Amino acid sequence: MRSLPTMLVLVSCALASVSQAEDSDEVVIPQSWQDISPTGPWVATVAFETDAQSSDLRQRIDVWKILREPGRLEALITADDYRQLVAEGFDLALDPTQTRILDRLGIPLDGQSSGIPGFPCYRTVPETYATAQSIVTDHPDLASWIDVGDSWEKTQDPQAGWDLFVLRLTQSGIPGPKPSFFANFAIHAREYTTAELGTRFAEYLVDRYGTDPDVTWLLDHHEVHLMLQSNPDGRVRAEAGALWRKNTNNDICSNTDTRGVDLNRNFAFRWNCCNGASNNQCSTVFRGPAAASEPEIQSLQNYVRSIFPDQRGPDLDDPAPDDATGVAIDVHSSGRLVILPWTSISTPTANGDAFNTLGRKIAFFNNHFPLQGAFGAADGASVEFFYGELGVAGVAFELGTQFFEDCADFENDVVGVNIQALLYAAKTARAPYLLPAGPEAFDAAVSQATVTPGTPVVVTAMLDDTRFNQVNGTEPTQTIASGQAFLDVPPWDDAAVPLGMVASDGTFDEPAEGVELTIDTTDLSSGRHIVYIRGTDTDGSEGVVTAVFLEVTGPVFSDGFESGDLTAWSSTTP
């Protein structure tokens, strides 16, 4: 069996000579493709030469993604699209493998009783909401399920459509203020992988709270806000097998299967600024009749404004302050990209260097391609709103390699690495323009997890200034200058007392160093303690912390009581 790249080459060559029958508008499909519709639609790759051509194509046809190889995009095209593009001189290659997947959308697998039909690993909108509610029920101290607005259909009929919710995760027993991390998913309805990744990220955090020290400090001292379904009306249609991208606003391209607004072209900041969306109501990238015209975007924007302060001036070249707080991520598929603003123009933001550092650090975890600006302009987009209006570090993910990622690839190649990428991004929310430049601390350990008072404990960790994805540019790295530990009080607290750590090999002279410290436990109270560890490089940049638990217990007497239990002992002894 030929590999997909070989098939595409053969298809491209064949169609170059027989793309249309002689003196006819008929599109010729090779006879060997008996299961491919001769009338379309088809998935195809289209070659383009300029950014202007790419932008024009995105407004005219249903572009799924811009491929990383120069000058090619993947799109869903009709027979009319095909004829028009060939007439204009574009080179097209139909993709039979991806086209065949379209015929299976909306059809459940044999025996499938849950999940999106044909894709049991992806929860539906009702299943996603049920999971979120169960998280709140099972973890009331950590989770709240907040109704932030209504979908378009619900604004028309309270008995139809959906509420828009945010799942807020933080330890409510520890007061703030706390820096916020926000992520929204499935703003484009047919991008199956996104909402499931967000739901699994939520499960990852609550399941590990109290046992994983890094997750524990994150939820103790940060807030995580997840809009798991940003476009529920459109998503329900996509789950039934429709190739639905937009919301379902029936005032737009009314009573058709291409109605609605592209919600990721409807944000208020720089809406309709730069030819990065369409004014054709039936286009998949229709921007909407006005900035933030859609109730879904109004709800999302209002919620984001409520959790992040406005930290940036009004002019395009105004920077956010270096110590600005907050990270906001909009998760899409596919293409394996980490996209940084601006997306409407090719000019970097005034925080461009810091954005590149953050993007390359995130991309270290998910092995995606870090990119300032999308492949082709996109205005009225989420990341420009996050950063442009509020100064928040706005980032977009494009997950996976296929538009309809199969469950095996999702489970094996998408979930784990992107949970780690989200986790790292959430850790940086206190100072996303500063912390990624410093050495990351990880692999913290103690020589004994449980000790009696007076037992010395050796704390170890790794500090590494090199953990960047070094593609599409190079991120500078520095030598580790120092390591510090903080017992029970995190380093950003005014009461924190730093404890100097030493290089395990005796000298700080490399960009990656093991560090260690011996803690005297003589005066430590019984119970669990947490040790925070942070590194600093020779540029003076401090990195994201890691942590490790240490349990201290008193000596046990023959009656079973610990030395710290004398009150209980005396009250039960005649």
* Residue 571 domain flag: no
Are both 291 and 187 inside the same structural domain? yes
Residue 455 CA to residue 529 CA, distance in Å, equals 14
Are both 525 and 383 inside the same structural domain? no
pTM: 0.92
**Residues composing the chain:** 574
Are both 406 and 503 inside the same structural domain? no
* The token pair that represents 493 in the structure block: 């607290």
Residues with Cβ within 8 Å of 29's Cβ and at least 6 positions away in sequence, in order, are 36, 38, 94
Residue 58 CA to residue 307 CA, distance in Å, equals 33
Q: How many domains does the chain have?
A: 3
Task: Find the CATH number of the domain harbouring 253.
Answer: 3.40.630.10
* The token pair that represents 337 in the structure block: 């990209």
Are both 282 and 179 inside the same structural domain? yes
**Residue written as token pair 């574009």:** 90
Are both 363 and 470 inside the same structural domain? no
Q: Which of 434, 452, 487 is the last residue of a domain?
A: 434
Q: Which domain holds residue 82?
A: 4-102
Are both 444 and 414 inside the same structural domain? no
Residue 198 CA to residue 171 CA, distance in Å, equals 19
At 223 the three-state DSSP class reads: strand
From residue 473, give the alpha-carbon distance in Å to each of 72, 365, 549.
21, 17, 38
* Residue 572 domain flag: no
* The token pair that represents 198 in the structure block: 């967000």
If one counts every other C-beta atom within 10 angstroms of the C-beta of residue 45, the result is 19
* Residue 561 domain flag: no
Strands (E), 384-520: 393-399, 440-446, 450-451, 457-464, 480-487, 499-503, 512-519
Residue 201 CA to residue 207 CA, distance in Å, equals 10
Q: What is the pLDDT of residue 3?
A: 36
Q: What is the pLDDT of residue 33?
A: 75
Q: What is the pLDDT of residue 55?
A: 83
Task: Find the CATH number of the domain harbouring 527.
Answer: 2.60.40.770
Are both 239 and 387 inside the same structural domain? yes
Are both 254 and 160 inside the same structural domain? yes
* Residue 567 domain flag: no
Are both 529 and 476 inside the same structural domain? yes
Q: What is the pLDDT of residue 5?
A: 36
Are both 479 and 519 inside the same structural domain? yes
Residue 453 CA to residue 32 CA, distance in Å, equals 77
Q: Are 142 and 219 in contact (CB under 8 A)?
A: yes
Residue 229 CA to residue 218 CA, distance in Å, equals 23
At 98 the three-state DSSP class reads: helix
Are both 397 and 493 inside the same structural domain? no
Strand order in the sheet with 546-552: 440-446, 457-464, 512-519, 499-503, 480-487, 527-537, 546-552, 450-451
* Residue 569 domain flag: no
Q: Give, for all 574 residues of the chain, the pLDDT tens digit.
A: 333 333 333 333 333 333 444 444 566 677 677 778 888 899 999 999 887 888 889 889 999 988 877 789 999 999 999 999 999 999 999 999 899 999 899 999 999 999 999 999 999 999 999 999 999 999 999 999 999 999 999 999 999 999 999 999 999 999 999 999 999 999 999 999 999 999 999 999 999 999 999 999 999 999 999 999 999 999 999 999 999 999 999 999 999 999 999 999 999 999 999 989 999 999 999 999 999 999 999 999 999 999 999 999 999 999 999 999 999 999 999 999 999 999 999 899 999 999 999 999 999 999 999 999 866 789 999 999 999 999 999 999 999 998 899 999 999 999 999 999 999 999 999 999 999 999 999 999 999 999 999 999 999 999 999 999 999 999 999 999 999 999 999 999 999 999 999 999 999 999 999 999 999 999 999 999 999 999 999 999 999 999 999 999 976 444 444 444 433 333 333 3
Q: Which residues pair with 165 in a beta bridge?
A: 147
Residue 62 CA to residue 360 CA, distance in Å, equals 30
Task: Find the CATH number of the domain harbouring 53.
Answer: 3.30.70
